[in-house]
Structure 1
Amino acid sequence: MKAEAALGLGGNLGDPVEAFATVLRRLERHEAVARVRPSSVYRTAPWGKLDQPEFLNMAVLVETDLPARALLDLCLALEREGGRERRERWGPRTLDIDILTYGGQVIDEPGLQIPHPRIAERAFVLAPLAEIAPGLLIGGRSVADLLEEVIDETIRRDPAATERLSAVLQSAPR
């Protein structure tokens, strides 16, 4: 059974655009992923821990045969391959991948909460997600409506990073 899942990608160390491109290529090549639809790249101020560089963030919709737990395992493996080290909560990172939604399901298991528990308060997640799925319902409310409540003008589409991501993806062998 295929499910549409929304993923959030972020990073502020190393080269986040290259890290995002690697994740998108890996998802496109994965046998259990049928479709990958990315948002633009957004530049956002740090959240939670403020004394660190700005983040680049984006959202990705995937259609997958993977159960939610297996998708989480894939995301964690991609983070590790991207050099992710979990040192401090909300701290700087090379790559972060969160499962934001999974087929409209509500999942609350150890280590796996879907929808993402803080999605409604995070404009840096909602802005890119609203670009590709404004009508997606989370807790009975659309992503676009949730974004209106937490809109933050410091979160902005980064045309240069978005164009670079597109160029990196087009130049890579499929």
Structure 2
Amino acid sequence: MVYAYLGLGSNIGDRKMQLEEAVHILNQKDGIKVTQTSPIYETEPVGYVEQPQFLNQCIEIETSLAPHELLKECLDIEQQLHRVRDVRWGPRTLDVDILLYGDRIVEEVDLTIPHPRMLERAFVLIPLNDIAKDVIEPRSHKTIGKLVMTDDSVKKYKG
């Protein structure tokens, strides 16, 4: 079993419900057990900014799935919750990203772990720090607690 960390985001429809449903579905999958969830944060969009605000959350899972098997499950959950990919960084019902998978580094055409833009995104690092402050990011060899940044646009969700 390996501990992995996933980033969840939603900005279309009932955003909170979609994050909750994704956690529920993940926890029902064979080989995946959700062990921690961060608070939910409301954040400004990045990249394509003409869209609604996001709700973001990070979760810790314990998994027996290999990285590509986990990726397949994440993509399947996005599909179950009606994810449409028509604009890069555009609006979405749900986004599920593999952030970390143990201490592994994976560099393949369809999968990069640690997530390639994770360290640039406060909306990932702030909730990840809530549940994985002492976890070491394998490229930098620093803990998430050392890498986290503050950003006033990332606020705990009160809804």
Taking structure 2 as the reference length, the TM-score comes to 0.95
Give, in whole Å, the separation in 2 of the partners of 1:7 and 1:155: 18
Secondary structure at the aligned position of 2:124 is classed as helix
Q: C-alpha deviations, 1:84-121, integer Å up to 9, x for none? A: 01001111111000000001100001110000001110
The answer as to whether partners of 2:4 and 2:63 remain within 8 angstroms in 1 is: yes
1:35-74 equivalences in 2 (<5 Å)? 35-74=34-73
C-alpha deviation, 1:75, in angstroms: 0.1
C-alpha deviation, 1:61, in angstroms: 0.3
Secondary structure at the aligned position of 1:91 is classed as coil
Structure 2 segments unaligned to the other structure (5+ residues): none
Amino acid at match of 2:128: L
Amino acid at match of 2:106: I
1:71-110 equivalences in 2 (<5 Å)? 71-110=70-109
Q: Which has the higher helix share?
A: 1
The answer as to whether partners of 1:27 and 1:36 remain within 8 angstroms in 2 is: no
Secondary structure at the aligned position of 1:9 is classed as strand
The answer as to whether partners of 1:75 and 1:98 remain within 8 angstroms in 2 is: yes
**Residue in 2 aligned with 1:145?**
146
Give, in whole Å, the separation in 2 of the partners of 1:35 and 1:87: 30
Aligned residue-pair number: 157
Amino acid at match of 1:142: T
Taking structure 1 as the reference length, the TM-score comes to 0.87
Amino acid at match of 2:122: A
**Residue in 2 aligned with 1:166?**
none
- Larger mean CA deviation between 52-61 and 16-25 belongs to 16-25
Runs of 4+ in 1 over 3 A off after TM superposition: none
Amino acid at match of 2:120: E
Give, in whole Å, the separation in 1 of the partners of 2:90 and 2:57: 18
Task: Calculate the aligned-residue CA RMSD, in Å.
Answer: 1.0
